[in-house]
Amino acid sequence: MSKKVILSGIQSTGNLTLGNYLGAIKNWEKMQEEYDCNYMIANLHTLTIRNNPETLRENTLNLLALYIAAGIDPKKSNIFIQSQVAAHAELAWVLNCYTYMGELSRMTQFKDKSAKHADNINSGLFTYPVLMAADILLYQADLVPVGEDQRQHLEITRDIAERFNNIYGETFKIPEGYIPKLAARVMGLQDPTSKMSKSSTIENDSIFLNDEPDIILKKFKKAVTDSENVVKYDEKNKAGISNLMCIYGSITNKTNEEIEKEFEGKGYGDFKIAVAESVIEELKPLQEKYKELKENPDYLEKIYIDGAKKAHSIAHKTLEDVYKKIGMVWY
């Protein structure tokens, strides 16, 4: 019996955060034992904002190294760079012609990003969900790991696929959302009402995977809490402490009740240090492996070349089927 196919990816903008790790990559490592996994470095998606070319190239290779350092095994999963597989851009153009302006105008992420980048509201930002749909549908993905902020993108992907299938017959597999049981929703340390972000401009808000131990400790010590000084989970009234509990529980596998009992009678200072130490210990092997990989660029090059070849062979079959069905002359 063949394994179900998973497609997921992260944009190669900036350094990965603890939120990216606990909310996505840590679970990807477990998924590769059960599923046929394709993990993409989504560098085409980064073009909706202005990037320094050298920085973008460096970020792309850094992300590749972080994937592997975090436990994604190139022998078990296919890791590839999106821009090296031309079918992504080709299918995106075709699907643009089967996607309605009204659908795209309702996407909340377009509204949010337009507000943040008011000086650069480009058409790529508007059609971003269509490229994401192409990413997913090219690999005939059964499952797509999604957070709450990505549900809308998955829904429009399903709508586009169903529309195309209704016109031309069975072409695309209709993907389902997949939410790992242990996926953590990590919020900012200074703004615990918003997700921890690679692009946050708030000082000490995000823990980056390459942060040194003393930096991690400093950031956690400065994390926003409340005046109650009681370690108790209450997302509405104690967002900061609840977020720290989420982080600590994700690493130690302890429940909120166990954490509350462990820190009963102790103040926030002790708790913050404990959370920081757990994160430092969790990231230590990842950081050591990352440094090793960065010193071996030839190995990284082999991984992304092999990954591109495998991704191309899968994606090309889907694209050929699409082109033939819509009347393109194929060779």
Active-site positions read: 113, 195, 198
Helix (H) / strand (E) containing 136? helix 123-138
**DSSP tag of 107:** -
Length of the chain: 331
Helix (H) / strand (E) containing 179? none
Question: Residue 5 forms beta bridges with which residues?
Answer: 36
How far is 156 from 130, CA to CA, in rounded Å? Answer: 8
Q: Would you tell me how many other CB atoms lie within 10 Å of the CB of residue 285?
A: 12
Angle between helical axes of 108-116 and 123-138 (0-180°, round to 10): 140
- What are the phi and psi torsion angles at 35 (to 5°)? -125, 165
CA geometry: angle at 229 spanning 228 and 232, to 5°?
85
Kindly calculate the radius of gyration of the chain based on its CA atoms and give it in whole angstroms.
21
Question: Residue 144 forms beta bridges with which residues?
Answer: 177
How far is 204 from 222, CA to CA, in rounded Å? Answer: 7
How far is 150 from 177, CA to CA, in rounded Å? Answer: 9
How far is 225 from 207, CA to CA, in rounded Å? Answer: 16
- What are the phi and psi torsion angles at 80 (to 5°)? -145, 160
